[in-house]
């Protein structure tokens, strides 16, 4: 997968998170987790853009690590949303969980490769 394809997947993931969050129950928990998942779910796309302009290999690994952290946070948040029944849009929720998990795997692999190339 090239840089542009990964960026497009991250943008698509961010958009899917926004769509999922727009269907949450309108209560305290729904509003709180909607804000949380929108922040963590859109962050990887934005931080990946920063990683592309990293000033060094170490900076690149750090920025990719931030993306990974936010993807893991999003994945856990999606699981909480599912357990708490905050949405009836289970199809998009399930698709977002699958994509988050796949993106996590991609970033783990990319970070390992980048670290190996630094040696």
Instruction: Give the burial class of 1: count Cβ atoms within 10 A of its Cβ; 0-12 exposed, 13-18 middle, 19 or more buried.
Output: exposed
pLDDT band at 1 (very low <50, low <70, confident <90, very high): confident
pLDDT digits (tens, 9 = 90+) for 94-111: 999 999 999 999 999 999
Q: What is the dihedral of CA 61, 79, 87, 91, to 10 degrees?
A: 80
């Amino acid at each position: 997968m090239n840089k542009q394809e990964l960026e497009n997947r991250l943008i698509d993931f961010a958009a899917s998170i926004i769509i999922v969050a727009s269907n949450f129950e309108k209560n305290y928990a729904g509003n709180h987790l909607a804000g949380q998942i929108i922040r963590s779910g859109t962050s990887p796309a934005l931080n990946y853009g920063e990683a592309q302009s990293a000033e060094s290999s170490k900076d690149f690994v750090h920025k990719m690590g931030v993306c990974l952290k936010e993807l893991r946070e999003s994945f856990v948040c999606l699981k909480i949303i599912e357990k708490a029944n905050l949405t009836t849009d289970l199809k998009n929720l399930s698709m977002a969980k699958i994509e988050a998990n796949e993106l996590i795997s991609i970033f783990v692999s990319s970070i390992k490769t980048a670290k190996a190339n630094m040696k």
